[in-house]
C-alpha cells in the first residue's frame, strides 16, 4: 500500500503560476476589456445603507472624528475642535471599469504568487457634512489678543479614484513602520515580510489601496460668528481638510494599503443557517 | 448650541429602501443584463492556487475526508474507509452571468433590508480524486462470510451551479437546528433570528448558497481487488458519493446557506502596510 500522500503538479516559479492562472481562466491581461460591476455597486450600497441606519443610533463616529481632528498637534490659532453634527450622506459609491492587471512592482521582485490584482474605478457624489465648532485664537499683536467663536460646515462632496484589490494567502508587504501588531490582530502571527518563506496560519488577506491620483473635493462654509474676520475662516477649514486627507492617505493611498485578514469561507456546520420557507401568499405571487 | 446629533433621512420601510438603492445605483432588476465576472474568476483562481500549494504540505484535508466518510453510520457491507490519496486538481472555477435579484422569500416576509442578492453561475471542470481503500463485507449466507479488500478512485469531474451571494449587517436567518453557537464564533452574540429587532454587534455577514439544481458529477473506478465481484463495487462508490453530496447539501444548498461574519474593512493603522518601492531595473522596464 502507498502511504497517505497528496498528489499534485510540481512547484513552478511565480511567473509561470500567474501565466497558468490567466490561461486557465481565459483572461488575457493585454486584450481583455474592462468589465462593469454594477452588481457589486448594489451589494455594497445595501451594506452602506444598513451602516447608515445603525450610525443614526450611535455616536461612535462623532467621537472618532473628534479624536481625529484634535489628535497630534493643532495650530496655535485654533482652540479645541468640537464636531457637533455629522450628516453621513445618502448616496452610494459607483464602481465601474474593473480590470485585472499585473502588480509589476511585486512581480518584478518575485514576491510569490501575488502578481495579479483587480483595478476598479470608484466614484461617489454625495454630501457628507461635519458640523464643527471651535474658537479662532488671534495671537497678534500679543498672545490671545482676541478669541472668536467659529462655526463651520465641512462637506466632502465628491470622491473619485482607482481602487486596487487583491486576495492573497499571506501578507504581501510588511506592516507600516508606525504600526504595532496588537494581540487581537489575526495577522500578528503571520509572516510579516514579503520575502520570508515561513508558512503562515493559512489566513487569506484582502488588500486594497487607492491610486495617488484620487480626487477628494471639499466644500467649506462658515455658519455663524467671526463675520468680521472671514479671511481667517479658510485657515481653519484648510486645517480640517488636511487632517481628513492625511487620515485617508496614511492608510489607503499607494504605497500604503489595507491588509484585512479574511475568515475561512469553507462550509462548516457552525456557519450554516436555514432560510425559512416562504408563506403561501408569497409562493402564489 | 445644538447637542451632538446625527442627521439623516427618516427610516423608510424595507421595500422603499431597496427601491431607493436600485434607483441610486442605476440598477433595474427587470432589465439589467447579466454581467461578466472574469476578473473575479482570476482573483479566486489566485487564492485557490495558493491553497493548493499549502495543501501539498499539509495532511489536514486527508484527515477531514477520513473523518467525514467514516462518520455517522456506515452500511454493514463496508469496513472502515481509508482515504489514502488526494489529488486536489489543477483547474479553476469559472464564474459568469452575474445578476442582482430580489430575494422574494425574504422581501415577502419583510425581514429587514436584506432583499437584494447577486446570483452567479459557477462552472468547474476538473478532476479532484480521492484514492480510497476499504473492505467489502459479505454477510450472506452468514455474517462475515467473506471479506474482500477493495481499492477505489472516486473523482469529482464536474460541478456547475448557481451561487447566490449577499452582504448583510445581521444574520438574515436563524442558525440551522443542528448547530450550536461556539464561544469562538463571532456571530454567537449577534441576533440569531430574522424577526428580532435587537441591535447586533455591527458585524457584516457574507451569505452564500447554491440553487438545488446544481450538478455534481462523479467518476468512480475500481483500482485493484474484488475483480470477481465487480457488481458490488458500485455500492461502495455510491455510498461515498452520497456522503460527499450530503456534506455539500447540508451546508450550502438552498434552503441551507453559509453565513460568514466578515471583519471590518474600515481603514485602521493596525491593518496598514507599505509596499516597498520598485527597484531601478523595474522602474526602467
Torsion sign across C-alpha atoms B69, B72, B77, B81: positive
Specify the pairing of strand A146-168 against strand A116-138.
antiparallel
Q: Compare B283 and A267 and report the one with higher pLDDT.
A: A267
Query: What is the rounded CA–CA span in Å between residue B55 and residue B51?
Result: 6
Contact B256 A278 (CB under 8 A): no
Is A139 exposed, middle or buried (CB count within 10 Å of its CB: 0-12, 13-18, 19+)? exposed
Query: What is the rounded CA–CA span in Å between residue B60 and residue B47?
Result: 18
For range A170-179, the mean pLDDT: 60
Nearest to B36 among A5, A35, A248 (CB): A35
Q: Please state, as a whole number, how many other Cβ atoms lie within 10 Å of the Cβ of residue A4.
A: 15
Would you say the pTM of this structure is higher than 0.90? no
The confidence score (pLDDT) of residue B168 equals 82
The confidence score (pLDDT) of residue B192 equals 37
Mutate to test the interface with A, among B39, B54, B150, B152 (most CBs of A within 10 A): B39
Question: pLDDT below 70 — which residues of chain B?
Answer: 1-13, 104-114, 170-201, 224-232, 277-285
Q: Does A7 touch chain B if contact means CB atoms closer than 8 Å?
A: yes
The confidence score (pLDDT) of residue A118 equals 97
The confidence score (pLDDT) of residue B13 equals 42
Q: Please state, as a whole number, how many other Cβ atoms lie within 10 Å of the Cβ of residue B185.
A: 16
Q: Compare A98 and A237 and report the one with higher pLDDT.
A: A98
Nearest to A21 among B39, B46, B171 (CB): B46
Q: Cell numbers at residue A243, please?
A: 487632517
The confidence score (pLDDT) of residue B71 equals 84
Closest listed residue to residue B11, CA positions, set A112, A103, A144, A53 = A53
Q: Does B60 touch chain A if contact means CB atoms closer than 8 Å?
A: no
Q: Cell numbers at residue B90, please?
A: 489543477
Q: Compare B7 and A208 and report the one with higher pLDDT.
A: A208
- Partners of B26 on chain A (C-beta within 8 Å) are 38, 94
Contact B257 A272 (CB under 8 A): yes
Contact A45 B25 (CB under 8 A): yes
The confidence score (pLDDT) of residue B144 equals 78
What mean pLDDT value characterizes chain A?
A: 80
In this predicted structure, the answer to whether residue A5 has a pLDDT above a threshold of 50 is no
- Cell numbers 520575502 correspond to A195
pLDDT tens per residue across span B243-285: 999 999 999 999 999 999 999 899 999 999 998 765 544 433 3
The residue of chain B with its CA nearest to that of A184 is: B270
- Partners of A88 on chain B (C-beta within 8 Å) are 6, 8
The confidence score (pLDDT) of residue A130 equals 94
The confidence score (pLDDT) of residue A172 equals 58
Evaluate whether B113 touches B18 at the Cβ level (below 8 Å).
yes
For range A31-60, the mean pLDDT: 91
pLDDT tens per residue across span A86-132: 999 999 999 999 999 998 654 444 444 458 999 999 999 999 999 99
Nearest to B1 among A41, A133, A273 (CB): A133
Q: Please state, as a whole number, how many other Cβ atoms lie within 10 Å of the Cβ of residue A15.
A: 13
Give percent above pLDDT 90 in chain A.
49
- Partners of A116 on chain B (C-beta within 8 Å) are 42-43, 46
DSSP symbol at B33: P
Contact B39 A261 (CB under 8 A): no
Is B40 exposed, middle or buried (CB count within 10 Å of its CB: 0-12, 13-18, 19+)? buried
Q: Does A84 touch chain B if contact means CB atoms closer than 8 Å?
A: yes
Strands of A36-115 (E only): list them. 82-87, 94-102
Nearest to A46 among B40, B113, B285 (CB): B113
Is A69 exposed, middle or buried (CB count within 10 Å of its CB: 0-12, 13-18, 19+)? buried
Torsion sign across C-alpha atoms B283, A246, B268, B167: negative
Nearest to A50 among B113, B185, B207 (CB): B113
The confidence score (pLDDT) of residue A229 equals 53
Contact A24 B91 (CB under 8 A): yes
Residue ranges of B 235-274 with Cβ closer than 8 A to chain A = 248, 250-252, 254-265, 267-274
Mutate to test the interface with B, among A267, A277, A282, A284 (most CBs of B within 10 A): A267
The confidence score (pLDDT) of residue B104 equals 61
Contact B87 A57 (CB under 8 A): no
Amino acid at each position: 500500500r502507498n502511504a497517505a500522500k497528496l498528489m499534485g503538479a510540481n512547484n513552478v516559479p511565480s511567473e509561470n503560476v500567474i501565466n497558468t492562472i490567466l490561461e486557465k481562466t481565459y483572461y488575457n491581461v493585454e486584450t481583455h476589456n474592462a468589465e462593469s460591476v454594477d452588481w457589486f455597486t448594489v451589494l455594497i450600497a445595501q451594506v452602506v445603507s444598513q451602516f447608515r441606519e445603525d450610525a443614526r443610533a450611535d455616536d461612535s463616529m462623532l467621537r472618532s472624528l473628534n479624536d481625529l481632528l484634535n489628535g497630534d498637534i493643532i495650530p496655535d490659532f485654533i482652540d479645541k475642535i468640537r464636531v457637533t453634527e455629522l450628516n453621513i450622506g445618502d448616496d452610494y459609491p459607483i464602481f465601474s471599469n474593473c480590470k485585472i492587471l499585473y502588480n509589476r512592482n511585486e512581480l518584478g521582485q518575485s514576491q510569490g504568487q501575488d502578481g495579479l490584482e483587480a483595478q476598479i474605478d470608484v466614484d461617489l457624489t454625495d454630501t457628507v457634512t461635519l458640523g464643527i465648532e471651535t474658537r479662532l485664537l488671534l495671537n497678534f499683536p500679543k498672545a490671545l489678543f482676541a478669541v472668536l467663536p467659529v462655526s463651520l460646515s465641512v462637506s466632502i462632496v465628491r470622491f473619485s479614484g482607482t481602487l486596487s484589490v487583491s486576495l492573497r494567502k499571506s501578507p504581501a508587504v510588511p506592516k507600516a513602520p508606525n504600526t504595532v501588531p496588537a494581540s487581537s490582530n489575526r495577522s500578528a502571527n503571520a509572516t510579516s515580510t514579503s520575502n520570508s518563506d515561513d508558512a503562515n496560519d493559512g489566513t487569506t488577506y484582502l488588500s486594497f489601496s487607492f491610486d495617488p491620483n484620487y480626487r477628494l473635493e471639499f466644500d467649506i462654509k462658515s455658519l455663524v460668528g467671526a463675520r468680521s474676520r472671514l479671511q481667517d475662516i479658510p485657515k481653519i477649514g484648510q486645517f480640517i481638510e488636511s487632517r481628513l486627507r492625511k487620515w485617508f492617505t496614511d492608510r489607503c493611498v499607494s504605497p500604503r494599503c489595507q491588509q484585512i485578514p479574511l475568515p475561512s469561507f469553507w462550509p462548516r456546520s457552525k456557519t450554516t443557517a436555514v432560510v425559512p420557507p416562504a408563506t403561501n401568499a408569497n409562493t402564489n405571487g
